[in-house]
Amino acid sequence: MLAPVAAQALTSDEVNRAGPPATTKSKETRANASIVKAQVLLARQGVSPGEIDGLDGDNYRKAIDQFRRRENLGTGEIIDAATWQALKGDVSSDIVSDYVVTKDDIKTRFVRRIPHDYARQARMKRLGYRNAQEMFAERFHMSEGLLRVLNPRTHDWKREETLHVVSVGRTAPSDEARTVEADKTNGMVRALDVTGKVIAMYPATIGSEDTPSPEGEYQVVRVVKNPTYHYDPVKNFQQGKNKRKLVLPSGPNNPVGTVWIELSKPTFGIHGTPEPSKISKASSHGCVRLTNWDAEELAQLVRPGTTVRFVD
């Protein structure tokens, strides 16, 4: 069910016709049409802002700076006239599109509640979506808040109901990633082709003070889609009072999300997350965490043997 929202609605026309965002940092907590448009355009250019929420946050600012550097537009976290032109802002009016709920959507089995405790999660059959709102938000790379703002009158969902969603329209690069850089200082993951050209960039959570990420270079060992999660308090960390090994079922709310890219460093990998809003904002247990959709795209670009380099 898509819950009603008290915040002011945002229409498709407002977003599609929006001009460049303000150059000063916004303190608004309501989704801004211009920022929604800028976030979608950045994602289309292969510079992910993470969760598209229409808010002036760190991941959005990092994406602007990375895009400007790549396009030789100088450094900075603002969208000036040249940057807006490079993003094709004035000629892009297809940012929000309509999605019609399907029969398969209605058949989706949701999980009402996912406990925090890993031992209880291990007893579940699947760590699936909790509701339609969560499912549609992730499918279209949006925050649940933005989905509600674009659909303020949608209190229920049924077949052939129309939802307003952002249209990233991003096609994964055709080139293979020869190297992946995990930039611990900036909280970014970059995929580079054989010439050293950056073909994709993603905001990332890379380790923490208690469980830092490794140093140096490693290789991709394998890619696992819809992985189970193997919890080992001896090799990894202790969660709550759990002191024995556990296997948690697959699903988008699995601790490693929908993709696990295993590295040659034992127990380390690049993976998705059940909490896309926390990417680069909350610590991980040494691994590299991306949104599920960014992890899925990266998984298409790498293969066993691809170099993963951790840089400061």
Domains of the chain: residue spans and CATH: 1-170 (no CATH), 179-311 (2.40.440.10)
The SS3 assignment for 296 reads helix
Integer CA distances (angstroms), 262 to 108, 190, 272, in order:
29, 17, 12
Q: What pTM was estimated for this model as a whole?
A: 0.93
Q: Which of 179, 204, 183 is nearest to 193 (CA)?
A: 179
**DSSP secondary structure code for residue 102 in this structure:** P
Any catalytic annotation for residue 271? Answer: yes
- Kindly report, residue by residue over 27-84, the tens digit of the pLDDT: 888 999 999 999 999 999 999 999 999 999 999 999 999 999 999 999 999 999 999 9
Instruction: Indicate if 287 belongs to the active site.
Output: yes
Q: Which residues are bridge partners to 188 per DSSP?
A: 183, 203
**Which of these, 79, 53, 85, 54, lies nearest to 66 by C-alpha position?**
79
H helix or E strand, kind and range, residue 65: helix 58-70
Predicted local confidence at residue 169, as pLDDT: 83
Report residue 200: phi and psi, to 5°.
Answer: -165, 145
Could you tell me which residues come within 8 angstroms of residue 239 by beta carbon, excluding any fewer than 6 positions away? 117, 118, 231, 233
Question: 97: which strand partners?
Answer: 165
Kindly write down the DSSP assignment for every residue of 114-128, as one continuous string. Answer: --S-HHHHHTSS---
| pLDDT tens digit sequence for 166-183 | 999 877 788 899 999 999
* Dist CA 145 CA 124 (whole Å): 28
Q: Regarding beta strands 307-311 and 216-225, do their DSSP bridges make them parallel or antiparallel, or are they unpaired?
A: antiparallel
